[in-house]
Chains A and B, each alone.
Chain A
Amino acid sequence: MSDIATPGTTADEHGHDSGDLELPNGRPAPAPLPHEPRRADVDPKAARRAERQVSTMFLLASLLVIAFIVAYIAIDKNVVIALPVIGTMSASNLALGLTFGLAVFLIGAGAIHWAKKLMPDVEVVQERHVLESSPADREEAISVFDAGAQESGFGSRKIIRRTLITALALFPLPLVIILRDLWVTPTDSPSPNELLSETIWTKGERIVTDGSYRPIRPEDIPVGGLVNVVPASLEKVEEVEGTLNARAKAASILVRMTPAEIRSQQGGSAEEPWDVHGILAFSKICTHVGCPISLYQQRTHQLLCPCHQSTFDLADSAKVVFGPAARRMPQLPITVDAEGYLVARSDFQEHVGPSFWEQGSS
């Protein structure tokens, strides 16, 4: 720092250094560009014109502010006007936005125009100061620190020093304990692993349409059909606390394809298949970060997640064919009950929803 050459002291009439500065590497500093006077500096006519321009902007800003007030009072908020490209919109919103926005812009633009055209524009050099403290100040700081260390006895009183270090080392532990309790719950409530591995789907649970709670027969779903479904018991727990969690975990979809198109399923045997004549049930909650997905493309049997484009092949065990999801969509084993309605054979056999650390590999 201190080896920067003493700045030049001579300056031309516009405040320029004469260019005899030297950089730390010994080279001469580049000479500043010569100052060019503006038109308004030399021509009084141009200066007056600039003055007029600035004052016109300020005057327009004032008029626009008044126009804003008038528009606010005069224009009914329900009046709708049609504009090309933009379409229909509220006349009041348009008028208020335009007048106030332009007023603010013109005040700023006028100020900048004023500064650029009329205010002095001479280049001024401001010298840097040496950042280092003076040797005397540094000496004094060191001696104060030494005296403090000596008088406190931090060096000589070992027992105090060690206990202090121990206390400071233990101090962050409560934070770790508190954080730990975020995932280790009291023994009487289920762990997150259990919470997320179970849904309210049970053996024999009727499958009903989402929103209208109608039970479904296999013949209700044509090939290429999609039904957004929930368990029938969800209707009864509608008002109970925690319904949203139950709903979020149990939301499922039914799709139907011709049985010949199904290349593989996640389980089931010839006696106890997981599908009903080509009707397959899957969780609706993406295994990536849990978006509800039912973008079933019936020609390719692909299920697409709109959030991050994870794509699952429902005809092939819902395995991931594209995107960031790391795990297939869990399949719900289904069958028909004595009355011919679709029911679940059991709960999901895999975790529904986003993958998480403790679930292990499934």
Chain B
Amino acid sequence: MNSMAARRRHPATLVVMLLLGLLVTGVIYAAVDSGTSAQAADQKWSETQVEAGKKLFAEGCSSCHGLGGGGSSIAPTLIGSGAAAVDFQVSTGRMPLAAPGSQAPVKGVIYSQAEIDAMAAWVASLAPGPAVPSDAMLDTSKADLAMGGELFRTNCAQCHSFAGKGGALSDGTAAPTLMNATPRQIYTAMVTGPASMPVFSNATLTIEDKQSIIKWIGSLQANDNPGGLSLSRLGPVTEGLFVWIVGLGALIIVAIWIGVKAK
């Protein structure tokens, strides 16, 4: 009988196993919470906005993207990116970037919507590009939810998962969760194709199609979990992991208790 086997019957084993189980469970459920918000606003850019945006850009963005927004060896050009790209990248907290990497992480939003609009106005003044949507374009009251589901499964689900929870890609990149995305951010992401995401133009995925998709994502966001723990809705992988670690762990702890001799 080796020493490990001997310690198996130690009274502390049960406590240790229990703590270990709790620790593992706790680590798995460390919930990541990130909230973003953006107010929908659409207006023709004014001259003062463009001027203010130019100033803000020079302070916060030009070290990488260049004073003229023409890009550099470490950052892409913004000429032709359009207002929508600025709106998406800054309102989700992706830009300004702390350091170049495989993917821009979502951080706290540091600019107000007025400042974001100003920078968007300046970038839009460089060259035509995707514009930010008007409130009417984001109105999903008449959108077809079922069609949205079909289009979502065809065009979005492969990366963002069927539940919109996101998923892994290659080389350290990942498709983000859509649970905190606003209709405006969903729209601007589709028309600009940030990072690894391809562009879904208004010609192949019309504004009505996009409204349907936005409505569908809204219904995914509003879903309750009547069955209890959603396990992030990532599917069979997390479910299997849960059963193997928590379920089997509990069974092992009970089995150890059964096997311990009573004092």
Contact = CB atoms under 8 A, between A and B. Distances in A.
A348 to B, nearest CB: 20
B201 interface: yes
A225 B228 contact: no
Nearest to A77: B226
A228 B151 CA distance: 10
Nearest to B197: A298
B158 interface: yes
Contacts of B141: none
Interface stretch (B14-22, B36-44, B113-121, B169-177): B169-177
B224 A88 contact: yes
A89 B198 CA distance: 36
Interface string B224-244: 111111100000000000000
A343 B229 CA distance: 48
B52 to A, nearest CB: 29
A223 to B, nearest CB: 8
B27 interface: no
A295 B224 contact: no
B210 to A, nearest CB: 12
A73 to B, nearest CB: 19
B195 interface: yes
A126 B147 CA distance: 71
A94 interface: yes
Given A94-B228, A211-B151, 19 more contacts: A40-B262, A80-B226, A86-B228, A87-B229, A89-B227, A93-B226, A93-B227, A211-B147, A219-B203, A220-B204, A221-B201, A221-B204, A224-B199, A225-B193, A226-B199, A228-B154, A295-B159, A297-B196, A298-B198
Interface of B: 29, 31, 147, 150-151, 154-155, 158-159, 167, 169-171, 173, 193, 195-201, 203-206, 209, 224-230, 257-258, 261-263
19 contacts: A38-B262, A86-B229, A90-B226, A93-B227, A94-B228, A97-B228, A121-B261, A211-B150, A217-B203, A220-B201, A221-B204, A222-B199, A225-B198, A293-B158, A295-B158, A297-B169, A302-B170, A306-B159, A309-B170
